[in-house]
Chain A
């Protein structure tokens, strides 16, 4: 057989493998068209080659992956140990020369071991960006709702607003995340752990939805605007009473948008425009704090004898809070104008507010003005305080916690009573009961049974122990919480 009619197999195989240049390929193709023998040969080669597709693949399973990573982690550890052993065996001069290299090896070995060895905190590190923003993501729930919310443009805010709350730490690198977590203060670590526990308590589909939301935000070119939108929405969402939030949570994403639209319309009608600005709320809180400080003695005089005695035993800052709480309750029950507040006080309050807020108040009769001021203060209490997000943030029970408390810790009778109240009142009462159940310590944060156990402390209020000194009022407005626990009440 001459080469002219029958090219060497190497050429045919290279042709089949696409390794010939255009000219060579054309030559083979011409032969294929004209020579049946060459055609048959190529077909045979092709056919047997195609049969290799029948070979089975060997997929690696999770066990195998885990094993591989462990083997590598072990090696990393051994490398480190070896490097350290060499260090001790080496001569002094040598030791100095190699010090730099050893430090590097140690660092390397450490990071490799730390990350490649099975690590119970791994999931936490992976979810860290999400956990950092859990309280903001939770009311959003998932990507679908965020997209609808974005489209609806219900919470579009001014640019630059809330710019001090940029997306926080979201490093891609697990090593950096670990460093970040390791450098947190003990309190922040506890806080993170609590959030992780709350996240873990969600159903897997809820968890998945939040992870997708995090992913979506991370990849979105409009991440910054979307974060701002989330914050504005959540700020508003926090001003809703618990039952409304619970109702909202039950709805599908599109129905939630409808619900929100309706609610916003109602609010607008009620407030005759926008709600109080953050600055006005802060001004009101400052005024209230100063007012209470000025009138503490007088206010204490309105108490019954046993109450006064109890108040007297409190530390000054606790007493301040207690007075606030007491006054606050009375205001809500009776209205401030029925108490010791005068028109002069009202004038003073108004003078501290923005022109817009002042004008709105001035258009109302005095009694309405006080009611509005109380409502605005209440609004401010439910809203995250200006320092929210900072580590010193006083503890406010979130809705989930309140609902859990409502469902699990109250009697049927208490629940019935609460449900018979108007929404706002129910929320207030529920919060009050919650604080009562937690005692004075509630000021410093939620009960941390697990963490306290871990730290060898006893849980502050043992069942059957001394009653708490004073029902924990809501956090004193816009004031940093004192960390010292109150003295136990012996009265």
Chain B
């Protein structure tokens, strides 16, 4: 990564970049501080990306391990968070690819597309057609939203999570995902459209979302 002096100066204002520079100078306290600041965010991001808590934990630790290993070559060319999420995104993509090669392990967001993501509660399925204005409880909403998110393809999901929960701009998401800001715009648009398509009928009619209800268009 070639870093201009002005951008290095700009990013040196990011407190996390400063911490990372301390890690570079072998400050263990700074490393711990970074772990403390980011572990929950990474864990949440990765859990939503890979849909598996244990795997997300392993990946989170792997991210920090890579940060530690890369400390000497680190250059403050971007917000620290974008660098960190880039590592996380690549690891998650690799993990999903590995899982795809072993179909016995059913993961959300695989591009195999033909199977329902998860067995759906029978009662809900049975009653789903005619349940206008049914009161949804919190847990149920959460489950439906999770299901909708998991139904996005991994790249859409990544863009959505970075935008929604990390508040990253299109330009920053582009940096994390190694694509153009224009591509981010289009990715997020399709993702939102997918979410709307799958969630809208549910909240209007109580229809439980099925994977086949919408197509991936990556």
Q: Which residues of A pack against B, CB within 8 Å?
A: 8-10, 13-14, 17, 19, 44-45, 47-49, 51-52, 54-60, 64-65, 67-69, 71-72, 75-76, 108, 111-112, 115-116, 172-175
A54 contact from B48, B142, B160, B170, Cβ within 8 A: B142
Give the shortest distance, in Å, between A70 (CB) and chain B (any CB). 9
> A44-B200, A75-B68 in contact; A116/B57 too (CB < 8 A)?
no
A59 contact from B40, B188, B199, B203, Cβ within 8 A: B40
Contacting pair A65 B35 (CB below 8 A)? yes
Complex Cα distance A54/B142, Å?
5
Q: What are 6 residue pairs bridging A and B, where the CB atoms are less than 8 Å apart in the complex? A: A19-B185, A48-B148, A52-B149, A55-B48, A65-B35, A75-B68
Verify if B44 is at the interface (C-beta below 8 Å from A). yes
Beyond the given A10-B186, A17-B170, A173-B27, please list 11 additional residue pairs across the A-B interface where CB-CB is below 8 A.
A17-B188, A45-B193, A49-B192, A58-B44, A59-B44, A60-B39, A64-B43, A67-B61, A111-B28, A115-B29, A116-B32
Specify the main secondary structure of chain B where it touches its partner: helix
Contacting pair B29 A65 (CB below 8 A)? no
Q: Which residues of B pack against A, CB within 8 Å?
A: 26-29, 31-32, 35-36, 39-40, 43-44, 47-48, 53, 56-57, 60-61, 64-65, 68-69, 138, 141-142, 145-146, 148-149, 160, 163-165, 169-170, 185-186, 188-189, 192-193, 195-196, 199-200, 203
Complex Cα distance A172/B44, Å?
31
Give the shortest distance, in Å, between A7 (CB) and chain B (any CB). 11
> A54-B145, A64-B43 in contact; A10/B185 too (CB < 8 A)?
yes
Contacts of A9 in B (CB 8 A): 189, 192-193
> A60-B39, A108-B26, A174-B29 in contact; A49/B164 too (CB < 8 A)?
yes
> A13-B185, A72-B65 in contact; A51/B141 too (CB < 8 A)?
yes
Contacting pair A48 B199 (CB below 8 A)? yes
Contacting pair B36 A52 (CB below 8 A)? no
Give the shortest distance, in Å, between B29 (CB) and chain A (any CB). 5
Contacting pair A48 B57 (CB below 8 A)? no
Contacting pair A58 B141 (CB below 8 A)? no
Contacting pair B28 A51 (CB below 8 A)? no
Contacting pair A19 B170 (CB below 8 A)? yes
Contacts of B68 in A (CB 8 A): 72, 75-76, 112
Contacts of A10 in B (CB 8 A): 185-186, 189
Contacting pair A52 B164 (CB below 8 A)? yes
Complex Cα distance A116/B67, Å?
14
Contacts of B27 in A (CB 8 A): 173, 175
Complex Cα distance A147/B112, Å?
68
Contacting pair A54 B138 (CB below 8 A)? yes
Complex Cα distance A452/B203, Å?
74
Look across to chain B and name the residue whose beta carbon is closest to the beta carbon of A74. Answer: B65
Complex Cα distance A49/B189, Å?
11
Complex Cα distance A59/B57, Å?
11
> A44-B200, A69-B35, A76-B68 in contact; A60/B192 too (CB < 8 A)?
no
Contacts of A175 in B (CB 8 A): 26-28
Complex Cα distance A51/B146, Å?
10
Complex Cα distance A67/B56, Å?
14
Contacts of A116 in B (CB 8 A): 28, 31-32
Contacting pair B35 A68 (CB below 8 A)? yes
Complex Cα distance A251/B41, Å?
46
Contacts of A45 in B (CB 8 A): 192-193, 196
Look across to chain A and name the residue whose beta carbon is closest to the beta carbon of B170. Answer: A19
Contacting pair B195 A49 (CB below 8 A)? yes
Complex Cα distance A249/B144, Å?
60
Look across to chain B and name the residue whose beta carbon is closest to the beta carbon of A115. Answer: B28
Contacting pair A48 B35 (CB below 8 A)? no
Contacting pair A48 B39 (CB below 8 A)? no
Look across to chain A and name the residue whose beta carbon is closest to the beta carbon of B62. Answer: A71
Contacts of A173 in B (CB 8 A): 27, 29
Complex Cα distance A48/B196, Å?
6
Complex Cα distance A60/B169, Å?
26
Give the shortest distance, in Å, between A484 (CB) and chain B (any CB). 43
Complex Cα distance A112/B30, Å?
12
Contacting pair B185 A69 (CB below 8 A)? no
